[in-house]
Structure 1
Amino acid sequence: MRLIPILTALAVTAFLVLAVLQRDALFRFAQENHLALVMGTPEDEGAETEADPAPVEEAPAAPAPQGVRVVARTSQAEIVDTAVILRGQTEAAREVSAKAETSGLVISEPLRKGTFVTAGQLLCELDPGTRGAALDEALARLEEAEARVPGIEAGVPEAEARLQEALARVEEAEINARAANALKRDGFATETRVAATLAAVRSAEAAVSAARAGLETAKSGLKGAQAQIRSAEAAVAVARKEIDRLQVKAPFAGLLETDVAELGTLMQPGALCATILQLDPIKLVAYVPETEVARVELGAMAGAELAEGSRVTGEVTFLSRSADPTTRTFRVEITAANSELKIRDGQTAEIAISTAGVPAHLLPASVLTLNDEGALGIRSVTPENTAQFLPVSLLRDTREGVWLGGLPDKVEVITLGQEYVETGVKVIPTYEEAASEIGQ
């Protein structure tokens, strides 16, 4: 009753032993006959033709070629545009928080977030308080300082005239002193007269010193008056600037991201009035790995697809020269038009930056295979009709196929049977173009 299971076990054991000991022979048998099972052999095609009723003398058959039958395709390289693919986000071209520079109560009606404002438009106006009176006081002091200048300026020429008069008296006293000395030598003048002329010289010299001191005093007074004028002008400028700070205006055209400060709010220096975003143009920001940064150039065209499906194009306007210390990537910015303000700040974007074209082959993804080292590539037919493994780089995946780089300009790609051959194995290629002609 158990004879059949025993026989089955013996048959399976014998098959497993044969498969292990004769593995190489079985592998060669599969390589030589797998395409015959798929495409049929010339003998099979002859069997399917209608038999000739008249007997024909058969010529001696030629020896069958040795090798593995494969299907191949002749591929010619084409120049294709490659792109650096990055994932980034949109950013506003400019974002500013308009803040108060002085204190005061808000007296203007607020604008609501989302409102478009123009450059210089009033956002917040503060109560002036006593700032107008402070400006009037500064103006009055300026007028007072300016009124003092003419009188002080007139005193300077007067002091100069007094100095000239004192110098003339010194000269006159010196002449009298020389004359008295001459008369004394001739016996016509007394010692008293000589002493009197010398005293007159000393007195004239003292008058010169006093006149010079008076001139310096007049000039100092003029400088002091001019300094008071400048001080008064500075006070006027400060008062006017303080009044200008009562109005917080938009520095550029954009959208309000927040509500403007509410009416009656007490503002202090540094308090937020509103946040403004400039979205036209918009920036697309991403980070390029150091392996790809050499392919990106300023001015290169770029495109992006946003998360909701919309697309935008622009050009590279900034490429960082310093890598992020953590990720070792480089910041790249793309500027794009956004006149309708449909693109918002912070949207996720798939960015493609165009680079120089490279030669590549468009082939079906099924031709890709791996070698023993795990490298991605294809198997081709050499001029000696042997298989050869060629490593490739995957450039782009499309609906028509994959663009592969790293191959010669012209290559015979094995499209069917590449998994059954290795480098150096003899092959019998059948080209797709020839097969299509036979089918026609």
Structure 2
Amino acid sequence: MRIFSVLAAMVVAVIVLAFTLERETTMAYLQGDAGTEQPASENDGAAATPMAATAKSLIRVVAQHSVARDIDSAVVLRGQTQAQRQVEVKAETSSTVLSEPLQKGSFVEAGQLLCKLSPGTRGAALAEAQARQSEARAGKAEAQSRVPEAQSRVAEAQARLDEALINQNAATKLSEGGFAAETRVKSADATVASARAGLESAHAGVQAAKSGLQSADAGIEAAQAGVAAAQKEIERLEIHAPFAGLLESDTAELGSLMQPGALCATVIQLDPIKLVAFVPETEVGRVHVGALAGGRLAAGGADVQGRVTFLSRAADPTTRTFRVEIEIPNPDLRLRDGQTVEILIAADGAPAHLLPLSALTLNDEGTLGLRTLTPDSVVEFQPVKLLRDAPEGAWLTGLPDTVDVIVVGQEYVTAGVKVDATFRETAK
């Protein structure tokens, strides 16, 4: 087998050399140089006609008439499966584990207990916080009772002031008529001043009572916060599954010391599962959210189907690609996280030609295309784009709706050369 490979390589090398270094000589040989023809015999009479001579010098090729057909297009990507959700459940407090560990691979329901920690002195801390709350409420009741008492003192002080003002007015009138001594007027003035001071003091007492009531309210709120903190600390002693899924690791071992941030377990959700890939910017315009998509696993070849649920609006700064996610039902959990998958995303249909892969060629600039024929059998080069493979060949775009394609001999002609074409039937 190695000998045949070497011989085939030598033949290919000779052909390439003939069409690169000795192109003109090779073309002349293929077309049939007129100088090599035998001179016409005199007995043949008139020489061959110019039309016959021209037809004899043309390169013969085989062509195929092709008509474009509308086909369903698809964007082909390569990606991987990814869990719908994955979370590392960690401890929020310090204590030792009291619960037996759950084995990795086990299925857990949402809210199921994963790790239970020792309460320690947290129950006593809660009782102390509740006692402070009761004490604060009692202090508020006492403060509330002081407010009416202070308000009654204000009313009493106001009455004394009114009485003092009346006595002052009477003493002043009697003194003006000579019926009362001056000392009586002075005494009445002093009594009025004292009553005013008592009224102000009573008002201050009311303000103090109200301030005491506000302080009691603040004490109650602080006590309630203490109770809530103690209760929350007790709640943190039980670590539950945030959602239904599989344990990717064993839960914490019995008796182990947990610190804040220590791992209790890793839970993943695989139903539904996501297919994740990255679309190049040349194809991103053909992908839409909600489009039908399918995938084939690299291992096992299982086919899955779903729809596009996310298409990134921002390109990756390094690869200039856009993240796309496809949601796939996975009730039996046969799809695993991280499997390689080939993804096809349905796109709008496009007119294309079904032609054999052997007809594809490259021009001098390295552009992929086909060599086609004009109605006058002149060769043209048409760049094409490979849409997708098929058992009968390849679906190609970039061509007119109807075209004559050279399928045999395209490597021996160039654009602008006239050829002698023979057409073959198109495969159905």
2:15 counterpart residue number: none
TM-superposed CA distance for 1:23, in Å, is 5.9
Cα distance between partner residues in 2 of 1:93 and 1:83: 25
* Structure 1 residues 27-42: aligned runs within 5 Å: 27-29=30-32
Larger CA Rg, structure 1 vs 2: 1
1:21 to partner: Cα distance:
9.6
1:348 is matched with which residue? 340
Deviations 1:244-273 (A, max 9, x none): 010000000000000011111111111111
Secondary structure of 2:219's match? helix
Q: Distance in 1 between matches of 2:138 and 2:382?
A: 96
Note closer, same or farther for the CA distance 1:24–1:280 as it changes in structure 2 (3 Å cut). closer
What is the DSSP-based 3-state SS (H/G/I as helix, E as strand, rest coil) of the residue aligned with 1:422?
Answer: coil
User: 1:289 corresponds to which letter in structure 2?
Assistant: P
Trace 1:14-93 onto structure 2 (pairs within 5 A): 25-29=28-32, 64=52, 66=55, 67-93=58-84
SS of equivalent to 2:176 = helix
Q: Which amino acid aligns with 2:396?
A: L
Distance 1:268 1:210, change over 3 A: same
**Correspondence for 2:151 among 140, 155, 160:** 160
Question: Does structure 1 retain, via aligned residues, the 8 Å contact 2:293–2:343?
Answer: yes
Taking the TM superposition and a 5 Å limit, the aligned residue runs for 1:18-417 are: 25-29=28-32, 64=52, 66=55, 67-308=58-299, 309-417=301-409
Distance change (3 Å), C-alpha of 1:106 and 1:294? same
- Which whole-Å CA distance do the structure 2 matches of 1:24 and 1:369 have between them? 18
- 3-state SS of the aligned residue for 2:314? coil
Identity %: 59
The 1:408–1:182 alpha-carbon spacing in structure 2 relative to 1, beyond 3 Å, is same
Instruction: Write out per-residue CA displacement over residues 107-134 of structure 1, whole angstroms, 9 at most, x where no aligned residue.
Output: 1111000000000000000111221122
Secondary structure at the counterpart of residue 187 of structure 1 = coil
The structural deviation recorded for 1:289 is 2.4
SS in 2 for 1:325: coil
Distance 2:345 2:192 in 1: 96
CA displacement at 1:325 relative to structure 2 = 2.8
**Offset at residue 62 of structure 1 (A):** 12
Runs (5+) with no aligned partner, structure 1 = 1-18, 32-60
1:80 aligned partner, one-letter code: I
TM-score (norm 2): 0.84
Q: State the match for 1:423 in structure 2.
A: 415
Q: 1:81 to 1:21 in 2, by over 3 A?
A: closer
Q: Distance in 2 between matches of 1:268 and 1:119?
A: 24
Partner Cα distance (2:245, 2:142) in 1? 56
Q: Distance in 1 between matches of 2:195 and 2:28?
A: 139
Instruction: Answer with 360-369 or 168-177: which moved more.
Output: 168-177
CA distance in 2, matches of 1:230, 1:399: 77
Q: Give the 3-state SS of the residue equivalent to 1:88 in structure 2.
A: strand
Q: TM-score, normalised by structure 1?
A: 0.82
Letter of the 1:421 counterpart: V
Deviation at 1:277, TM superposition (A): 0.7
Kindly indicate whether the alpha-carbon contact (under 8 Å) linking 2:30 and 2:59 is maintained by their aligned counterparts in 1.
Answer: no
Structure 1 residue 63, shift from structure 2 partner: 6.1
| Distance across 2 between alignment mates of 1:30 and 1:258 | 80
CA distance in 2, matches of 1:114, 1:226: 52
* 1:310-340 CA-partner distances (Å, limit 9, x unpaired): 1222222222233333323222222211111
Q: CA separation in 1, counterparts of 2:186 and 2:161?
A: 15
Distance 1:312 1:201 in 2: 98
Paired letter, 1:385: S
- Greater alpha carbon shift after TM alignment, 371-380 vs 269-278: 371-380
Displacement after TM superposition at 1:181 (Å): 2.1
Distance 2:61 2:196 in 1: 127
- For residues 220 and 384 of structure 2, what CA distance do their matches in structure 1 show? 82
Measured in 2, the distance between the counterparts of 1:425 and 1:224 equals 103
Taking structure 1 as reference, are residues 25 and 103 closer, same or farther at Cα in structure 2, changes over 3 Å only? closer
Q: How many residues align?
A: 388
Q: How much has 1:20 moved relative to structure 2?
A: 10
Residues 31 and 59, structure 2, Cα contact 8 Å, conserved in 1: no
Name the CA distance, whole Å, in 2 between partners of 1:264 and 1:287: 45
Q: Distance in 2 between matches of 1:113 and 1:148?
A: 54
